[in-house]
Amino acid sequence: MTTPTTTAAAPSGSTAEGRAPKNPRTGGRPRDGRSRIRRHLPTSPWLFAAPGLLVAGAFSLYPFLSTVTNSFTDRRTLIAGRFVGLDNYREMLGDEMFWTGLRNSTLYVLGVVPALVVLPLLLALLVQKQIPGISFFRSAFYTPVVASIVVVGLIWVWLLDERGLVNAVLEAVGVGRVGFLSDQWLLLLSAMAVTVWKGLGYYMIIYLAALANVPRELHEAASVDGAGAVRRFLTVTLPAVRSTMVLVGALSSVAAFKVFSEVYLMAGPDGGPAGEDTTLVMLVQRTGTGLSGRAGYASAISVVVFVVTVALMLLVLRADRKEDA
């Protein structure tokens, strides 16, 4: 990714941090300064870092390790577990609900990621040009990002209701009412649409930053050579934002695989009548929490979530590298 140049408008009220980016490692730091500034009470650096380290250790790193170790036990919320080896993983293979969750989370990635890579880019191209009122549109398009997923979910539950606005419109134009929230597949598709709707503005901003770094000379040169808008998009814009597309692909696929709230709100806590819309994280939440929660088994499912998200990330990044070669 190209580093943004500093010629463009610096942030207003810019302080030292707004200045030309220096190499963070050596950035204008006199060598001999190190030894002088070093003299402070020997304990204070750790005092400074202590709150952060404590939280990172106790609420990220420790839970990660205990998730992995718990996955080999039959631990429950109120009962300490015994080591059971791979029993949880073996049980998982025979658990129909696990496969349903894995299928739905995977479908979610396949459905959401292409839309979130392409649509925000088109949106960014639309709001990129400085025409009057454009900053209002940019802000408005970002509103769904600011709202809580619960608010967004409930808004769409009402819009897509059997008697809601979308169906009222569909009926008025003669299509007839559609059971968006009652059919298993339509429900999953609707949830995906909501995820895309909420994510559009966020990725639009990421793309805008990337587009601002495309040198205008390239566009001018292509123009002079007689390239039309589509041609210029394909030969100039697309190659320039490719690395950003990979980044968006990686971020959105990891987020999509871990989907919880949208489906939980739209399908209900049980993931629809027979649970056929359950996602993997919903399954973790359902089996592992509460007083009778099976923490051991839920941890094993969590480990699968870890492994798949890391694999997704590597897959996307690797696909990028291959294209480079």
Write the DSSP assignment of 247-315 as a string of letters: HHHHHHHHHHHT--HHHHHHHTTTTSTTSTT--HHHHHHHHHSSTT--HHHHHHHHHHHHHHHHHHHHH
- Give the residue, chosen from 85, 163, 174, 226, that forms a contact with another protein under the rule CB under 8 A: 163
| Tokens representing residue 277 in the block | 């819309």
Q: CB under 8 A: which stretch of 5-13, 87-95, 107-115, 183-191 binds another protein?
A: 5-13
Report if residue 209 touches another protein, rule: CB under 8 A. Answer: yes
| 9 sits near another protein (criterion: CB under 8 A) | yes
Helix (H) or strand (E) run with residue 40 in it: none
For 104, the token pair is 């739905």
Element (H, E) at 6: none
**In this structure, are residues 98 and 301 in contact, taking their beta carbons and an 8 Å threshold?**
yes
The interface region with another protein, picked from 91-99, 107-115, 147-155, 178-186 by CB under 8 A, is 147-155
Shortest reach from residue 191's CB to another protein, in Å: 14
Stretch that binds another protein, among 88-96, 106-114, 179-187, 293-301 (CB under 8 A): 293-301
263 binds another protein (CB under 8 A): no
Rg (the chain; Cα; Å):
25
CA distance 155 to 149: 10
Of the candidate spans 107-115, 127-135, 178-186, 270-278, the one that interacts with another protein by CB under 8 A turns out to be: 127-135
Q: According to CB under 8 A, which residues from 51 to 90 bind another protein?
A: 51-64, 66-67, 70, 75, 77
Euclidean distance between CA atoms 283 and 302, whole angstroms: 9
Among 107, 178, 205, 240, binds another protein (CB under 8 A): 205
27 lies in the site for another protein, by CB under 8 A: yes
One of 112, 181, 281, 283 touching another protein (CB under 8 A): 281
Which one of 13, 94, 176, 226 is in contact with another protein (CB under 8 A)? 13
Of 225, 230, 228, the closest CA to residue 125 belongs to 230
34 binds another protein (CB under 8 A): yes
Smaller CB distance to another protein: residue 233 or 276?
233
CB count within 10 Å of CB 275 equals 18
Query: Is 98 a binder of another protein (CB under 8 A)?
Result: no
